[in-house]
Amino acid sequence: MEGEDVEAAEEGTWSRETIPKVLKIVSSRLSQRDLISLLLVSPWLNGTLVSYPSLWLLLDLREMNNAGNRLIAAISLPRYRHVKQINLEFAQDIEDKHLELIKNKCLDSLQNLEFLNLNGCQKISDKGIEAITSACPNLKVFSIYWNVRVTDIGIAHLVKNCKHIVDLNFSGCKNLSDKSLQLVAQNYPELELLNLTRCVKLTDSGLQQILHGCPCLHSLNLYALSSFTDEAYKRISLLSQLKFLDLCGGQNLSDEGLSCIARCKSLLSLNLTWCVRITDVGVIAVAQGCTSLEFLSLFGIVGVTDKCLESLSRTCSNTITTLDVNGCIGIKKRSRDELLQLFPKLQCFKVHS
């Protein structure tokens, strides 16, 4: 009997302590959708998983149908009361009315939210932005890629309600103007990442306000914005911490503007694809100033020659891993081995963004 009692005690300890510990480790590596499925296996498993707050810090509704109602239902559950990340990227059926309902009925549920992804949520307008941001005072990362309904009014609500933003993605928001950039520059001096891809209403004036007001930027994406000129480009040199810069399609960028950008000594990634006015002069300035460069695209620039490659080889040969000179008719075609002699760390030498 004594042996049986010991065995029973060990089994009890195993069930009570060991299994939950192992379950916590395993479940932390599962996707949220798999976790939701596990909740349905048994009441014991449901209770055990729900008791781990760290498993419910992310609410992932990416590409789901009926996302608005799902969001409201989830936020109403106790297990999500400390949620830090909500991902609604390309979710379907999410509208302003859902975000307004959250504001009115679940205001306390999002006090810890730091990350909100509304990419591709085409039915969200300024009204929805006002509602959701008023419920998320501690938001740090906000992304609304490809939203053509949000205007400067929505951004005004964002900066009023969320004071701790460090990462903004406005890519494809075609109705934002320089006013939005003015609001961002005035309210987010600690901003680190900004994506303005295809925000076609922006001008030099707006960009210059960002460059003066957001000195902590690490990443700036100006992809497919052909309206900017050297007047603004030159002031990118103010960003001493800049590491990532995408200027693809910057048709007005000249060697003079690029030479100023070359003062960004920390730059690691530079996309100059289709910056057609650039010549060896500008690229040599980059080679001399940005000696930690790892990624460089010169795709489609016919004004550069082997001179700029030789300069890059002298200063960046130990750092460049990706180099795109496709379409640069002034640069001699080389075999992979020949390129590796110039750039020993090179891993990819034909990339187009």
Position 351 scores a pLDDT of: 47
Q: pLDDT value at position 49?
A: 84
Please state the φ and ψ torsions of residue 141, each to the nearest 5 degrees. Answer: -125, 125
Helix residue ranges per DSSP H, the chain:
2-13, 19-27, 32-39, 43-50, 67-75, 96-105, 126-134, 152-161, 178-187, 204-213, 230-233, 255-261, 280-289, 306-316, 336-342
Burial 294-308 (b: 16+ CB within 10 A, else e): bbbbbbbbebbbbeb
Strands 167-169 and 193-195: parallel
Q: CA dihedral in degrees (342, 343, 347, 352; nearest 10)?
A: -80
For residue 13, what are its two tokens?
Answer: 């300890």
DSSP 141: E
Stretches in the chain below the pLDDT threshold 70:
1-19, 22, 350-353
Phi, psi of 254 (to 5 degrees): -105, 175
- Which amino acid, 280? D
CA 159/CA 255 separation, integer angstroms: 36
Tell me which amino acid residue 279 is: T
Residue type, 238: L
Residue 202 has a pLDDT of: 98
Contacts within 8 Å (CB) and 24+ apart, 47-52? 48/20, 48/23, 49/23, 50/78, 50/79, 52/24, 52/27
How far apart are the C-alpha atoms of 264 and 330, rounded to whole Å? 27
How confident is the model at residue 352, as a pLDDT?
47
Q: For residue 298, which of 266, 318, 265, 276 has the smallest C-alpha distance? A: 276
pLDDT score, position 34: 85
Provide the token pair at 275. Answer: 């910056």
Phi, psi angles (nearest 5°) of residue 302: -85, -10
Question: What's the pLDDT score for residue 16?
Answer: 58
Tell me the residue type at 116.
L
